Amino acid sequence: MSLFDWVFRRKRDADTPPAPPPAAPTAPASSDKAPSGNTTSGTPGANAPRSSEGSEDQYAANDFLPISRQEIVDAAKKHGRLLATAFQFGRQSIIPPVSDPRTEIIDRALVTHGLLTPEELNEIHRVGEEYEKVRPTEQGIAAAAGLAGTAAVQAYRAAKEAEKERKKREAELRKKVRAEAVWRRRTTDIIFLGRGVSGRLHLRLSDEGRLTELGLPVMHTPADVANALGLTVPRLRWLAFHTDVATRTHYVKFSVPKKSGGTRQLAAPHKSLKAAQHWILANVVNKLPVTEAAHGFVADRGIVTNANPHVCKAFVVNLDLSDFFPSIAFPRVRSAFERYGYSGCVATILALLCTECPRAAVTYAGTKYEAATGPRGLPQGAPTSPGLSNQVARKLDKRLLGVATKLGLTYTRYADDLTFSGDADAAAKIGWLLTKVRHIASEEGFAVNEKKTRVMRRSAAQMVTGVVVNDKPSVCRDELRRLRAILHRAKSEGLDAQNREKLPNFREWLRGKIAFVSMVRPDAGAKLKAQLDAVS
């Protein structure tokens, strides 16, 4: 606290106002010698400290007498030129010495105006003198403290900078380690294969006992699937990844005409995906058990074995399932793999490799895209689709077989063709049967194509997958006559002249027709084949 702060605070805190300053003394009579400043008793400031020796003005010859404001201002201006001690004023850390001319003016003003008593003023200057003795030590301590503080601040800043650099290095190291871990995981594992299809990729435990019992390859993880297919994990991810919009797909799409009119959309997989699907077909799908009612795409079964149970029946009912392959969606295919013991991860990957979305070509911002127009399903043209359709339709077969058994009927299925047959006493239940089949098919995710539903009696040709079953398995008489006529005229007119429908590869088309006849009637097929071979 400075001298002036202390003084004026004391004045504010005083309980009573200070005594008024005494009246100025009457000027003394002239004499040869000026009276001494302390000869008058009772003069205010008689005990006050005297001014320093050698003063040049009236203040040096008198005690502290009352002084006006103007006199203080004039004296301050006069001594303001003494810059040697001016630096001491206005500082809170120094009490000016009593020998200073400016200090004399201030001391006189403080005492004569009643702000301080002479004793208090003497005490203040005593404290100042004592402080001057220790001020160099205090300044040295302060300087040392300042240096220490500066060093501490610099050390703190250096430590903070070092900590910052350490954290930066650690962050860069973590980033590098994470990038390496991501790269390693991407090359050895698959955790995401697209929206809506990746929910079961975390399930990595297959039922080894069940798989071994069925003779299926044991696979638990994406790496196991990749190794089995002879692919890298990134390549497997690329083949199985699902996206709603893509610039390229793994299928070549084309259409073929239907017998009933219109076209059928087919999708043939590219080479890499086709190889993977063939491996899945040979090592997994073909080893899965199928129901007794299924005859399509099953070893040692075919159109003939599908037709044989319906020979010599009073009536035959044929029904067709609409959009059979596309209606079998990805979740049902995945469930088929899981049913036989594969983990959710492996089942998901296998199902993605065997399904695809129907897509339409669109152009946006000059770029062509293939946009999905429906959910993933079994594509018509993939080698795995027929076998997987039998697995998905297992429950349908079991339920329809149960209905047929209850009614005393026979039931078989060849792909999307459902066939029922029975004796005359069950004919009255045909209407109920058709209704029940529609309901069951709908509950199992299929739909009956009403336009292709046929009820055939013995009075007409009863056809089951192209085989006549009235009395024995046979080929349609008109078809057999047509083939014989073509081969007969080809001997004289040439084979090309018989291609009235302008079919490509007409000879191969005939070979296919003859092969069908050979399956149903081997004797007739052998004769037709010999006639075709004889035609140049």
Is 21 among the domain residues? no
Residue 5 inside a domain? The answer is no
Judge if 324 and 344 occupy the same domain: no
Q: Find the mean pLDDT for residues 166-188.
A: 94
> What is the rounded average pLDDT of the residues 388-417?
97
Instruction: Provide mean pLDDT across the span 514-525.
Output: 92
Give the closest residue to 235 by CA, choosing from 271, 262, 204, 208. 271
State how far the Cα of 296 lies from the Cα of 417, in Å rounded to an integer.
9
Is 167 part of a structural domain of the chain? no
Per-residue confidence (pLDDT) for residue 39, from 0 to 100: 37
pLDDT for 225 equals 97
Place of tokens 């005359």: 424
Q: How far apart are the first and last CA of the chain?
A: 130
Question: Does the structure show a pLDDT above 90 at 386?
Answer: yes
Cα–Cα distance for residue pair 266/256, rounded to 1 Å: 7
For residue range 241-287, list pLDDT tens digits in order.
Answer: 999 999 999 999 988 887 777 788 899 999 999 999 999 999 999 99
Segment 425-450, tens digit of pLDDT: 999 999 999 999 999 999 999 999 99
One domain for residues 408 and 503: no
**Mean pLDDT value across residues 478-489:** 92
Encode pLDDT of 205-218 as tens digits.
Answer: 999 999 999 999 99
What is the per-residue pLDDT for 92?
Answer: 57
- For residue 324, the one-letter residue type is F
Do 452 and 438 share a structural domain? yes
Instruction: Determine, yes or no, domain membership for 48.
Output: no
pLDDT number for residue 174: 96
pLDDT of residue 50: 43
Same domain, 509 and 429: no
- Domain for residue 160, yes or no? no
| Confidence band, pLDDT 50/70/90 cuts, at residue 511 | very high
- Collect contacts of 259-263 with beta carbons under 8 A, ≥24 apart: 260/452
| Strand pairing class (245-246; 410-414) | unpaired
Q: Which of 237, 273, 265, 243 is nearest to 372 (CA)?
A: 243
The mean predicted confidence, pLDDT, of the chain is 86
Question: 467 — phi, psi (to 5°)?
Answer: -110, 130
pLDDT cut 70: percent of the chain above it: 85
Give dist(CA 279, CA 211) in Å, integer. Answer: 16
Same domain, 467 and 485: no
Look at residue 155 and tell me if it is in a domain. Answer: no
> How far apart, in whole angstroms, are the C-alpha atoms of residue 19 and residue 10?
15
Q: Are residues 372 and 405 in the same domain?
A: no
DSSP state of 93: S
What distance in Å separates the CA atoms of residue 501 and residue 483, rounded to the nearest whole number? 14
pLDDT at residue 107, rounded to an integer: 83
Residue linked to tokens 């402080």: 131
Mean pLDDT throughout 482-499? 90
Question: What is the per-residue pLDDT for 500?
Answer: 87
Nearest Cα residue to 469 out of 300, 320, 315, 319: 315
SS3 assignment, position 243: coil
Using alpha carbons, select from 202, 189, 205 the residue that is nearest to residue 341: 205
In this predicted model, which residue has the larger pLDDT, 63 or 505? Answer: 505
User: In the prediction, which pLDDT does 80 show?
Assistant: 62
For residue range 14-51, list pLDDT tens digits in order: 444 444 544 444 444 433 443 333 333 333 443 444 44
Higher pLDDT, 84 or 142: 142
Cα(408)–Cα(92) distance, integer angstroms: 120
Domain-ending residue, one of 472, 495, 526: 472
The percent of residues above 90 in pLDDT, for the chain, comes to 66
Helix (H) or strand (E) holding 185: helix 118-188
Domain count, the chain: 3
Which burial class, exposed, middle or buried, applies to 71 when counting CB atoms under 10 A from its CB (0-12, 13-18, 19+)? middle
pLDDT of 108: 82
Question: Which residues constitute the domain of residue 353?
Answer: 191-287+329-377
Can you give the pLDDT at residue 93? Answer: 62
For the residues 493-517, what does the mean pLDDT come to? 89
For residues 260 and 211, membership in a common domain is answered with yes
Whether 333 and 440 map to the same domain: the answer is no
Both 202 and 318 in one domain: the answer is no
Is residue 459 domain-resident?
A: yes
Instruction: Of 14-18, 92-96, 231-235, 239-243, give the lowest mean pLDDT range.
Output: 14-18
Instruction: Point out the domain boundary residue: 319, 347, 377.
Output: 377
The residues with which 463 forms a beta bridge, in sequence order, are 468
Q: What angle do CA 181, 187, 188 make, to 5 degrees?
A: 85
pLDDT tens, position by position, 288-317: 999 999 999 999 999 999 999 999 999 999
Which of 347, 377, 407 is where one domain is finished?
A: 377
Answer whether residue 186 is part of any domain: no
